[in-house]
Amino acid sequence: MRNETHLSTAETSIFSANELYLPEERCRAFIEEEGDVFLLYAVHYPMPEKEELLIQSMRQFGELIQKQPGIIFVNLSPFRDLEKGTLITLAIWESQEAFQASWPILVKDAPSEEWEVKPREVHMFNTVV
């Protein structure tokens, strides 16, 4: 069952408390209803000996993101590229404004870059409508 406390008015009109949607379906339904979303992904370059600390920090950060108004999807466990040794996180927001409104809260708990061999790359995209 979904937690309805963080849903926008637009989203509650799409989803009922008794329905379970996969993230892809939830995002697709939101785009069809609202027409736009904001995607953010980050590529992390962990030090091999600090990778588990970074992953744990990324999971905690994802849990914090999950509680923010306007979030549609965030992966709580990062994706790993075995060949490159990188970790990727992904978040989809209702809008860039929703992300920007939450950022002052989130930035305080962002994972430390001291566990990375080089600065992470952060990529942001808006839906082309």
| DSSP-derived secondary structure letter, 86 | E
Q: Hey, what amino acid is at 27? A: C
Q: Could you report the per-residue pLDDT of 36-67, keeping only the tens digit for each?
A: 789 999 999 999 999 999 999 999 999 999 99
3-class secondary structure, 82: coil
pTM of the model: 0.72
Per-residue confidence in pLDDT tens, the chain, 129 aa: 233 333 333 333 333 333 444 555 655 666 666 667 899 999 999 999 999 999 999 999 999 999 999 999 999 999 999 999 999 999 999 999 999 999 999 999 999 899 999 999 999 999 876
> Please, what are the domains in the chain?
36-126 (3.30.70.100)
> How far lies 35's CA from each of 10, 103, 109, 112, 125, in Å?
11, 23, 31, 34, 14
What radius of gyration do the chain's Cα atoms show? 15
Under a CB-based contact definition with an 8 Å cutoff, are residues 89 and 71 in contact? no
pLDDT at residue 30, rounded to an integer:
61
Under a CB-based contact definition with an 8 Å cutoff, are residues 38 and 124 in contact? yes
